[in-house]
Structure 1
Amino acid sequence: MLFDPTPKVDRKDFFDREKEIEKLKRLETPIVLVLGLRRTGKSSLIKIVLNELKDYLSIYVDLRKYEEKNTITYRDFLLDLQNEINRLGKKYNKLIDALKNIKGVKILGNEVKFSWSKEERFSFSSLLDSLEQTGKSVIVLDEAQELVKMRGVNLLPSLAYAFDNLKNVKIIISGSEMGMVYDFLKVEDSSSPLYGRAFSTIELKPFDKETAIKFLKKGFEELNISFNKEEEVYETIGGIPGWLTYFGFTYYQTRNYEESVRKTLEYAKKLIYREFENFLKPRYIAKERYYTAMRTISNCASWSEIKRSLEAKEGIEISDSEIYNYLIQLLKHSWIVKEDDKYCPSEPLIGKTFKT
């Protein structure tokens, strides 16, 4: 069902992403990037593809849990890998066998335990080597921009090693903060292990007006509900599939257009506000400036308009370099986009959230 708010694992429940599914299934390069704003369907796309790659062993690491943390330890990361491998259980005894006798690994029946102590620390490269021995494998790092927060260990040498040497291992890296994903990979840094590597990239964009209307029509047809305000919904909510799904699900429950729009906007604003507060945690000293900038940008604004609003708010002069840094951070974390000489919200409901 298109309006089912739970993540999709079957392509028949996924709308208008056939080209993206087929491209991801080809795994054209050792590392594949899946990028797009929040709620455009990245995780569902990946899970559908993993479900169809029957001959691949798949390990899925969901890093969204770290959005509210300022740092990630290597211990956190290893525990995620350990839990995912143990979740696979007896299904992949070959992987358990490949991990035997590797430094930092204990095998307890059909379960593994990774050590993170300095003396016996298990390395990510060792896991990738074990996957290579097992056969065709794919490891997913979902919302990988969170790995920028990792302290104590650099994963890039392991990723570069897999890219250059492991033929059976593919790595899918997804992210909703596109600039931060590239910051994590350091692909433009000549000193980075991944410098110069070519990645296959799949970008999930919001639906345009025509596609959004088709999505809503098909969803209501599935539910056998008569509805004729698809265009109004798009003009109010925009083309993010997650928001459209939430509206459709809410309308199915209420059968009241105004109530469904109100509930969708209320839910979206709360979620966006919470996500923005997470973004601000390591930038708390500049919290009010970021809010002022976003309120100004909610209707799209030029550099000079943003500068004037920040200075008017505080009654002092603020340097161009400080304002440049605020805007760069908002761009990298996909809160805003630059269109010609204007800065705008990256999607309509972000704009509506900061207007109020």
Structure 2
Amino acid sequence: MLFDLRPKDSRSDLFDRDVELSKVIEYVGRLGVPITLVLGFRRVGKSSLILVALRELGLPSIYIDLRKFEERQYLSYRDFILELQREVNGLTRRFPGLIDFLRNIGGVSIMGNQVLFSWKGSNRVSLASLLDALNDWASNGVVIILDEAQELVKARGFNILPVLAYAYDNLRRVRFIISGSKIGLLYRFLKVKDPESPLFGRAMGIVELKPFTKEQVAEFLRRGFEELGIEFSDFDKVYERLGGIPGWLTYFGLKYYEYRDLERAIIDTVSYATALIRQEFNNFLTDKTIARDRYLAIMRIVARECAGWTEIKNGLEVMLGMEISDSRMSEYLRQLLDSAWIIKAGNKYCPAEPLIGVAFRT
């Protein structure tokens, strides 16, 4: 069903992403590209695309959802290893023979049918050794998904980049799908253009999901309401108020089905979306104690109307009653761009999507 709020896992429920889906399947399957990036704004459908691709590929997979660490200031090796342990145990329940390949790895304990990973001291399990075992076991390949991988920029006490580079160069059966909604931050984490980075110069498959166009929004809503047996024609008004993010449109579809009242469904969707956006912005501010008010002020300036660099700087200085250096101003904007709160359109900075603008205007 198109208006199901959960991530889709069937092609029939994935609207108008055939090109992107074919790319993921091609990169991960036939071409065997070691790392495929799936990029796009929050709630644009990245997780659904990945899940449908995995289903069609038919390969065993390990799915690590790093969104759960979005509110954290840092991510420890323990946090990461326990997530990996949970996913590996899910895999061994389906494929018990995998346990034999894990048995002799340092830092791995086998308790019946359960696999335990050590995360502390000199005995902590090696990620490279785990990937070696997966590569030896998976005759046709195994896919490891790092969803919202930019959260790994918070990693403390471990660095996953050398492990990714090792797998890229040596483990032909291990493929990674790395997704991110904070695209600039994800690239900053991967350091693909840094000559000193382990991943420098490695070619990757790139699949980017865009918000729906006005025409796509109309077709998405038409098909969704058709599934529910409802006639609907106010497509333009929905697009003008909510934009083209599939997650918001899906929520609207369910609310309209519940209320059968256009304005009430839109208002409810806007209220839900802006509350969620503000919470996510608070998460963004978690490690920015000193500059919290400055980031908030910039978003309020940009949300009123797309603004140029000088206009934003002058507005911020008026709000604060103090001068801001050019370098500091540029850093604030870079952080907001990298985390996909704003985009640059020509010489102007704008909210990344319409409801972000609404969230900071109210």
Interval of TM-score (by shorter of Structure 1 and Structure 2): over 0.9
Aligned letter for 2:301? Answer: T
1:143 aligned residue: 148
Aligned letter for 2:93? Answer: K
1:134 aligned residue: 137
Aligned letter for 1:268? Answer: A
Return the offset for 1:110: 1.4
2:50 aligned residue: 46
2: CA distance between counterparts of 1:62 and 1:105?
Answer: 22
2: CA distance between counterparts of 1:117 and 1:234?
Answer: 51
2:231 aligned residue: 226
1:320 aligned residue: 326
Q: TM-score, normalised by structure 2?
A: 0.97
1: CA distance between counterparts of 2:334 and 2:199?
Answer: 23
1:8 aligned residue: 8
User: Is 1:306 aligned to 2:309, yes or no?
Assistant: no
1:92 aligned residue: 95
Higher deviation after alignment, 240-249 or 311-320: 311-320
User: Is 1:34 aligned to 2:38, yes or no?
Assistant: yes
Contact kept? 2:85, 2:116, Cα under 8 Å: yes
1: CA distance between counterparts of 2:195 and 2:6?
Answer: 41
2: CA distance between counterparts of 1:191 and 1:88?
Answer: 35
Aligned letter for 1:151? Answer: R
1: CA distance between counterparts of 2:284 and 2:39?
Answer: 18
Aligned letter for 2:257? Answer: Y
2: CA distance between counterparts of 1:50 and 1:108?
Answer: 29
Return the offset for 1:94: 2.6
1:107 aligned residue: 110
1: CA distance between counterparts of 2:95 and 2:186?
Answer: 30
2: CA distance between counterparts of 1:41 and 1:50?
Answer: 14
2:25 aligned residue: 25
2: CA distance between counterparts of 1:174 and 1:37?
Answer: 10
Residue aligned with 2:3, SS? coil
1:120 aligned residue: 123
Return the offset for 1:89: 3.7
CA deviations over 1:228-265 (Å, ceiling 9, x no partner): 10111001100000001110011011111111000000
Residue aligned with 1:276, SS? helix
1: CA distance between counterparts of 2:156 and 2:98?
Answer: 28
Higher deviation after alignment, 329-338 or 2-11: 2-11
Return the offset for 1:124: 1.0
Residue aligned with 1:102, SS? coil
2: CA distance between counterparts of 1:186 and 1:85?
Answer: 28
Aligned letter for 2:60? Answer: L
Residue aligned with 2:184, SS? helix
CA deviations over 1:143-172 (Å, ceiling 9, x no partner): 000000001111111100111111111000
2: CA distance between counterparts of 1:94 and 1:202?
Answer: 33
2: CA distance between counterparts of 1:94 and 1:183?
Answer: 38
2: CA distance between counterparts of 1:81 and 1:97?
Answer: 18
Higher deviation after alignment, 305-314 or 85-94: 85-94
Return the offset for 1:76: 0.5
User: Is 1:355 aligned to 2:358, yes or no?
Assistant: no
Return the offset for 1:196: 0.4
2: CA distance between counterparts of 1:115 and 1:171?
Answer: 23
2:346 aligned residue: 340
2: CA distance between counterparts of 1:324 and 1:204?
Answer: 27
1:290 aligned residue: 295
Q: Match for 1:163 among 168, 175, 185?
A: 168
Higher deviation after alignment, 335-344 or 24-33: 24-33
Aligned letter for 1:228? Answer: S
Aligned residues: 355
CA deviations over 1:50-71 (Å, ceiling 9, x no partner): 11222x2100000000000000
Return the offset for 1:88: 2.6
Residue aligned with 1:284, SS? coil
Aligned letter for 1:44? Answer: S
Aligned letter for 1:336? Answer: I
Return the offset for 1:90: 2.9
1: CA distance between counterparts of 2:6 and 2:161?
Answer: 33
Return the offset for 1:271: 0.2
Return the offset for 1:12: 0.5
Residue aligned with 1:344, SS? strand
Runs of 4+ in 1 over 4 A off after TM superposition: none
Higher deviation after alignment, 285-294 or 265-274: 285-294
Residue aligned with 1:308, SS? helix
Residue aligned with 2:61, SS? strand
